[in-house]
Amino acid sequence: MKELPSRAQIARATEIVHAVVPPTPQYRWPLLCERLGTEIWVKHENHTPTGAFKLRGGLVYFDDLAARGIRPAGVISATRGNHGQSVAFAARQLGLPVTIVVPHGNSVEKNAAMRALGAELVEHGDDFQASLEHARELADEGGLRMVPSFHPLLIRGVATYSMELFSAVDAIDITYVPIGLGSGICGMLSAFAAVGARTEIVGVVSAHATAYADSYSTHALVERPVTTVLADGMACRTPVAEALELIWQGVDRVVQVTDDEIAAAMRMLYETTHNVSEGAGAAATAAAFQERNQLAEKRVAVVLSGGNVDRDMFAEVLGNEGG
């Protein structure tokens, strides 16, 4: 993928998405503004029917299959949860069988949500990369269509949330966006280019999964081990080359946040907005708080990319003020 989607392509994606998912809100929460000492807007992708932004991409991807008359015997993908829910939700609308591969120890409640959407779950490997490689093998063996986690159609779909944000809030100075495999931030870059926004785009990664940060700084694709406990949606060991090409071109800088900082941001979001955020969903807010001394008198946006956190983990985060 060498080019970002056009404004017309994102507009068509918006029609597809909004036929199923209403625009999600972006709110300026007074208490959160007080905590960060500036005007901060939260884009609430935790308010979609699957609790995360990924659904938008799945709807556009499967709409394209239907429009081209492609009806595979079944589809398969790998995920830590949110992409899998997107695939299962969108494929179910077409009546397609879905197999999702997840790593051992994956979120219990994300697994349950995928099964509730009709997906057959296969547990394999200790991290996302191992699950991805196994899913590709199963696709070849079973004649299934492999649905990637990064694809131009997925970018078009997820770009729609950024278009909503830029349409609703003028003159944003800085936008913080979490990076998992890259579809969300590439969607942000697409909307940024389409509307000619002037915001500084800051990518956010886990300090315990630094593949994208290190690849960004060295301008070379590098793999890194993953040890994050909270930010499963950012637990990337191997970056996507196509995503990196776009990130190198358009992202101003990349910030790393620790699990402790993410936990503090999850608590802060609940206390100031009463919204539930998963670890990756709170990462952008954690980065803004880390840089709060630099944000005075700026208009800031953060993407709350998902709220799918297991109850026990969220209870532990809320009850542990020490991080």
Please name each of the domains of the chain with its CATH number.
7-53+152-319 (3.40.50.1100), 54-146 (3.40.50.1100)
Helix (H, G, I), strand (E, B) or coil at 95: coil
Report the percent of the chain where pLDDT is more than 70. Answer: 99
Please state whether beta strands 200-206 and 120-123 pair in parallel, antiparallel, or not at all (unpaired). unpaired
Query: What is the band of 197 on the pLDDT scale with cuts at 50, 70, 90?
Result: confident
pLDDT at 118 over 70: yes
Q: Tokens representing 209?
A: 């999964």
DSSP letter at 180?
S
Supply the mean pLDDT for the chain.
96
DSSP-assigned beta bridge partners for residue 176: 202, 302
Report the percent of the chain where pLDDT is more than 90. Answer: 96
Contact of 305 with 276, CB cutoff 8 Å: no
Whole-angstrom Cα distance, residue 268 to residue 69?
47
Whole-angstrom Cα distance, residue 142 to residue 102?
18
Q: Tokens representing 204?
A: 């956010």
Q: Return the pLDDT at 323.
A: 46
Contact of 89 with 61, CB cutoff 8 Å: no
End-to-end CA distance of the chain: give it in Å, rounded.
Answer: 39
Average pLDDT over residues 53-79: 97
Which CA distances in Å does 313 have to 249, 259, 309, 310?
Answer: 36, 12, 7, 5
Query: What is the band of 3 on the pLDDT scale with cuts at 50, 70, 90?
Result: confident
pLDDT at 229 over 80: yes
DSSP letter at 306?
B
Whole-angstrom Cα distance, residue 265 to residue 277?
9
pLDDT at 74 over 70: yes
Q: What is the pLDDT of residues 230-268, one digit of tens each?
A: 999 999 999 999 999 999 999 999 999 999 999 999 999
Q: Tokens representing 238?
A: 């191997």
Q: For residue 67, what are the contacts with CB-CB under 8 A and spacing of at least 6?
A: none
Average pLDDT over residues 43-72: 98
Q: Tokens representing 176?
A: 């913080």
Q: Say if pTM beats, i.e. exceeds, 0.75.
A: yes
Helix (H, G, I), strand (E, B) or coil at 199: coil
Among candidates 203, 149, 188, which has minimal Cα distance to 4? Answer: 188
